[in-house]
Amino acid sequence: MPTTEEAARLLQISRDAYDRGDALLHLQTEVSRLTGQASSWGSAENDFVSDEHAGYFLGEVERIGWRLEHTGYTFVESGATTSARMLSTGTGVVNHGHVAGYFTFRRVV
């Protein structure tokens, strides 16, 4: 879920690499986010938000002259929130982080 500024930065990197004559381009960007808050009952209330515009962004990179060759994804945890459960033992956990997308492009010949 790159911001407008981040998408513009990545597209400029794509143009610069193409103009230099690079054979490969590797980009990384956030494609979804996991957030949440502890509830008053001590359970996890996670919220998952994904980017519906990822395909559009990748299409813009291909429009420059690149072809998407490979993708990979990983969850990057940035923390967690815990809270005691009200009516039972244990704790509720809410994880925080994002899914990073790794995209490798090859120059169109």
Residue 5 dihedral angles phi and psi, to the nearest 5°:
-65, -40
49-95: per-residue pLDDT in tens? 787 888 899 999 999 999 999 999 999 988 777 766 566 666 667 77
Q: What is the mean pLDDT of residues 33-60?
A: 74
Residue matched to tokens 């103009």: 19
Domains held by the chain: number: 1
Across all residues in the chain, what is the average pLDDT? 85
Contact (Cβ atoms closer than 8 angstroms) between residue 50 and residue 29: no
Q: What is the mean pLDDT of residues 32-45?
A: 65
91-109: per-residue pLDDT in tens? 667 777 889 999 999 999 8
Boundaries of domain holding 56: 4-107
